[in-house]
Amino acid sequence: MLSIGVDPARCTRCRRCEAVCEMTHGGDGQGGRSRVRIRDSGWPPISICRHCESAPCADACVSGAIRLDPVAGVVEIDVARCVGCWSCVMECPFAAIAMVDVAGQGARAYKCDGCREWGFPRCVAYCPTGALRAGAGAGEMSGRVRRQRAARVLPGRPTGGARA
Amino acid sequence: MNYVVVGSSAAGLSAIHAIRKLDPCGNITVVDEESRPAYSRVLLTHYIAGRVAERDLFLVEEAFYRSYGVRTLLGVRATGLDPGRRQLYLADGRVLDYDSLLVATGARAVVPSWSRTGGVTGLRTREDAVRIRNAALAGRRVVIVGGGPVGVKLACALLELGVTPTLLASSPRILSQVADREASLMLEQHLLRHGVRVRCGAEVGEVAAGPRGTEGVVLSDGSTVPCQLLVVCKGVEPRTELVAGHLAVRRGVLVDNGMRTSVPGVYAAGDVAESPDIWGEGTRVSAIWPHAVKQGKVAGTNMAGGRDLFPGVLPRNAMDVLGMPFVSMGLLHVPAAAGWRSVSRRRGNSYLRLVIRGESVVGAVLLGCPQLAGPIQAAIRKGGRGWEQLVPL
């Protein structure tokens, strides 16, 4: 399972993670698309989705937009289903979910997608101090084992809402 | 094992998932009086606003029940219970034997006495939502009775649809149960600026009907607000009639943190349940989605022989009020007792208030600064200490 770990004590606030994330997700360089946030004051010092196995944001999602992909171990947001109700934002203890304006629709939930297309979180790859880690799990379990486990848990995939 | 789940919404579905995780072979039967698969009531205002298509209201497809090996009795009402024999009686005469039963019958909209006429609806079912949306699209004037979260969300939805509603709140301010005075007033101003006609302290006397149906609503001060459709959003009450007399019921069905009722083999979860709060100080009914999902999961796990505990009710609400995010959670009332106080800060349209008991944060109101809500909730759950580091005041 993908799991991202954070060690604020190692963070030097170089903000390379923010820049890499912004570029990876098609931002304009102003930081509006970065899914990782470094704060100079306030809490938490580093905001990024941990891809919780039992994700409170997914349990709270009323529209079935947030779900855990049991194979990749990534907590995903289906923006087309999101209604912008802020429920997930209220639940996330890491303040890792933001809202961004989607043209013509209003604010929609937005967070780390685990860089699935890249196979590994880019911010972690570029963090020079180890403040960001892709924690235990990433790479430990083969895809085959994950799929077997997933099949045991989920015989069919519900379209959304309540999930154990 | 025979599992019977009464109610196929958030709590019921979540329980089915949890049961199947532990017991691949047990017989699961789900009974629900609505003949369609479960849909999300929370999405109804979003459906009215046109953000969600009608088909996307459904939580699961028919195939879900098949793939989970669940026998469905949809469109059938459960009418009675014999906890001694472990039997459930259905309206069509059938009797279901169970080893463990989950009561997830949910809640119903509160219906005031004056509202039992035509031209008045609640907002609880899909049919209600369709009716409201169609009326709004046809240019009917809509009056919303109730200044709580559902009423305010509906007002926003109608505005998004291009209809300017009137919102009548019987209390002196809107959202009086889920916001403090400052936040209420800020949100009321915000609604007024967008054209919603808000009237607080308005008690409905009767519905004025004319030859062509509802023509308005008469308030107890004698004034009349013209409208063709009246939507009553006065909150919900647990549907306990199935189990009343068999199980301990206060406002809802009383359960412990394992979602067990007072009778062995019978569990309750979701809007119908009254469970301990996170402080262990009392029991509460809290009809919100995350509780229903979590309680269903706990109930299902325990029904199937596993062990899980519900951490307790933490009342909370989140909504988008015309672009202004509003979140509140926990205890909001500050009693005039030693040790209680509140701290707040306001910067422009961003407002934050924390309710502190002793050293601990026990409640919060956040307007325009929702990012802090998650960390604050986590702090409340962990005992509430250390909130000073979270929030630069």
In a domain, B128, yes or no: yes
- pTM of this structure: 0.90
Measured in angstroms, the CA of B152 and the nearest CA of chain A are apart by 13
In chain B, what percentage of residues exceed pLDDT 90? 84
Per-residue pLDDT at B393 exceeds 80: no
Specify whether the CB–CB gap between B155 and B231 falls below 8 A.
Answer: no
Number of structural domains (chain B) is: 3
Q: Taking residues A105-119, what's their average pLDDT?
A: 89
Asked if pLDDT for residue A139 goes beyond 60, the answer is no
CA dihedral B180, B185, B191, B194 (to 10 degrees): -140
B141-190 pLDDT, tens digit per residue, is 999 999 999 999 999 999 999 999 999 999 999 999 999 999 999 999 99
- Domain shared by B226 and B267, yes or no: no
Residue type, B30: V
Mutation target to probe the B interface, by most B beta carbons within 10 A, among A40, A85, A108, A110 is: A85
Output the average pLDDT for chain B: 94
Q: For position B26, which CATH number holds? A: 3.50.50.60
Q: Which residues of A touch B10 (CB under 8 A)?
A: 161-162
Across residues B384-389, what is the average pLDDT? 88
My answer on whether B97 and B174 are in the same domain is no
Distance from CA of B98 to the nearest CA of A (A): 22
Read off the pLDDT of residues B270-307 as tens digits, 9 standing for 90 and up.
999 999 999 999 999 999 999 999 999 999 999 999 99
Question: Cα separation of B141 and B284, whole Å?
Answer: 37
Helices (H), chain B: 10-22, 44-49, 62-67, 126-137, 149-160, 181-193, 289-303, 373-381, 387-390
Is residue A152 pLDDT above 70, yes or no? no
Q: Which residues span the domain enclosing A30?
A: 4-149
User: B40 vs A62: CB contact, 8 Å cut-off?
Assistant: yes
Any domain includes A164? no
B200: in domain:
yes
Of B275, B303, B331, the position where a domain reaches its end is: B303
Q: Taking every pair of C-alpha atoms in chain A, what is the biggest distance, in angstroms?
A: 46
Give residue B114's pLDDT. Answer: 76
Domain for residue B310, yes or no? no
Judged by average pLDDT, the poorest of A25-39, B166-180, B242-256, B305-319 is A25-39
| Mean pLDDT within B109-128 | 83
Residue range(s) defining the domain that contains residue B162: 113-232
* pLDDT over 60 at A104, yes or no: yes
Query: In whole angstroms, what is the distance from residue A111 CA to residue A44 CA?
Result: 15
Sign of the alpha-carbon torsion through B251, B257, B258, B263:
negative
**Residue A162 above 50 pLDDT?**
no
The burial of A133, by beta-carbon neighbours within 10 Å (0-12 exposed, 13-18 middle, 19 or more buried), is given as middle
Write the CATH number for A25: 3.30.70.20
Asked if the model's pLDDT at residue A155 lies above 90, the reply is no
Q: How many residues does chain B have?
A: 393
Q: Do B61 and A159 touch (CB under 8 A)?
A: yes
C-alpha distances in Å from residue A136, one per residue of A56, A95, A121: 20, 22, 14
ipTM: 0.91
Please list every residue in chain A whose beta carbon sits closer than 8 Å to the beta carbon of residue B69.
155
Q: Is the pLDDT of residue A79 over 80?
A: yes
Nearest C-alpha neighbor of B170 from the set B192, B203, B142: B203
Two tokens, residue A116: 């699935």
